[in-house]
Amino acid sequence: MKKNYFFYSNKKCFIDHNGIVSSKSHSNLALIKYWGKHNHKIQIPLNSSISYSLGKVYTVTRLIYKRKKKKNSSIKIFFSGKEKTSFLPKILEFFHRISFYCSYLRDFNFIIETYNTFPHSSGIASSASSMSALALCVMKIEKKLVSSLKKDLFLKKASFLARLGSGSACRSIYSGLVVWGCHPSIKGSNNLYAIPYPYEVHSIFTKIANTILIIDDEPKKILSSKGHQLMNNHPYARERFKCANKNMNRLISILKIGDFQEFGELIEHEALTLHAMIMTSRPYFLWMKPNTLNVIHTVWDFRKHSNKNIYFTLDAGANVHLLYPIQEKTSIIKWIYSDLFSYCKKIIESFCY
């Protein structure tokens, strides 16, 4: 599908009043990580990725649109009730990129009111849920203009727009397992928007427990956009992309047969590979903190002695996501609070679905 498919070209319809739209979008957790992009402005990934939606971890956004009286545009953003001018550059860039596909946006001034159920910029993908919620709000305005807009196109375009705000945001449009980026084994997968995972999934993977250990709640010093850029001249980039593609093939069969141990080993390998890329880029940097390593080693020891299926993954930050079968939640969560709590600032109990 070409990007032109998403142009808004209905010049006859317009909204002559003010209004409000709102949306909610869940964060997502990548099992196979997207790391590196072809073109920084249009966010084309260098490898395909797959994620789960995160329960309880979401952004709610209200977009208030007011018809412009003068030519100049204005956008204001309020985060948890307070005006947040530091978010403006990213939002302005997002509106600039998408107004090419949603020309009606140029007729309005906007007020964005948003809040998260989790700390922003701390390694839980807040840009994913926030950009996805905003893209859904924009599409709700488009739906007011084009009432015949079908749900399928609504969601595809929302994912396409969200991608222009933050790559992984395109996966937050859908719940469940979601794929973004062209992969030869996944029908319909493409670089422009995400799709729901199209194949059979064993019942053990329809909902799994996710406990998020907040080890560091400060905003990251090195943003993921910088890390993506460093993949362009990275000495191990080619091998990384090959490995991600192979891991996707392995994951397709793991998801089908329901092998949690294989699943866990694959996601831990993905997480450590992502961090290895970060540690070996130029300039190099480190997102893990001492307590990230303390958690990983404690989980490995526990797994060895208990034979429990508990595995970790990491995103672009120090925080740890623990994944385990939902059926084992009662005993495992008890162990987490007794043996891991001292390493964390906060524990968020969530689930992947």
Binding site for ligand PMV (CB under 6 A): 30, 33-35, 49, 125, 127, 166-168, 224-225, 228, 274, 315-316
Q: How far is the CB of 59 from ligand PMV (least distance, A)?
A: 14
* Nearest distance in Å: CB 166, ligand PMV: 4
Residue 54 Cβ vs ligand PMV, minimum distance, rounded to whole Å: 11
User: Quick one: 21 or 244, whose CB is closer to ligand PMV?
Assistant: 244
- DSSP symbol at 219: P
Token digits of residue 233 = 């001249």
CB 215 within 8 A of CB 341: no
Task: For residue 37, give both structure tokens.
Answer: 């992009």
- First and final C-alpha spacing in the chain: 28
Q: How far apart are CA 318 and CA 342, in angstroms?
A: 15
Tokens encoding 215 = 């080890």
Which is nearer to ligand PMV, 30 or 254 (by Cβ)? 30
Identity of the residue, 181 or 264, whose beta carbon is nearer to ligand PMV in the bound complex: 181
Give whichever of 141 and 271 is closer to ligand PMV, judged by the CB atom: 271
Do residues 36 and 48 lie in contact, with contact meaning Cβ atoms separated by under 8 Å?
A: no
Cβ neighbours of 298 (radius 10 Å): 16
In angstroms, give the least distance from the CB of 30 to ligand PMV. Answer: 3
Nearer to ligand PMV, 14 or 284 (CB): 284
Distance separating alpha carbons of residues 279 and 272, to the nearest angstrom: 10
Instruction: Say if strands 108-116 and 75-79 run parallel, antiparallel, or are unpaired.
Output: parallel
CB of 63 to ligand PMV, least distance (A): 21
